[in-house]
A = this chain, B = another copy of it.
Amino acid sequence: MLKSGLVSMLIGMSVVFIFIIIMIFLMFILGLIDKRFPPEKTDEIVIQKTISLPGKDANNQKEKIAAITAALIHYRNRIK
């Protein structure tokens, strides 16, 4: 049984490394594609994104509301 364990280590670590190495190879190819065909600049302008495109998920909403609230307090203070 110990033998089986040793063999499983041998095979297991080998397969893990082979898998990861091929994966690395794939990622390098993805990197090359990115270099060869740089993606167009489709990202929305960051500021606009921060203000008007809140994510659906609760965390973003939270941040969003916090940001708006902060702005609100700021303008309140300006008024005073």
Q: Which residues on A are within 8 Å of B, measured CB to CB?
A: 51-52, 54, 56-59, 61-62, 64-66, 68-73, 75-76, 78-79
Complex contact A72–B69 (CB within 8 A): no
Enumerate 29 A-B pairs (CB-CB under 8 Å) in ascending A order: A51-B73, A52-B66, A52-B69, A52-B70, A54-B61, A54-B62, A54-B65, A54-B66, A56-B58, A56-B59, A56-B61, A56-B62, A57-B58, A58-B61, A61-B61, A61-B65, A64-B65, A65-B65, A65-B68, A68-B68, A68-B69, A68-B72, A71-B72, A71-B76, A72-B75, A75-B75, A75-B79, A78-B79, A79-B79
List, in ascending order, chain B residues with CB within 8 A of A78's CB: 79
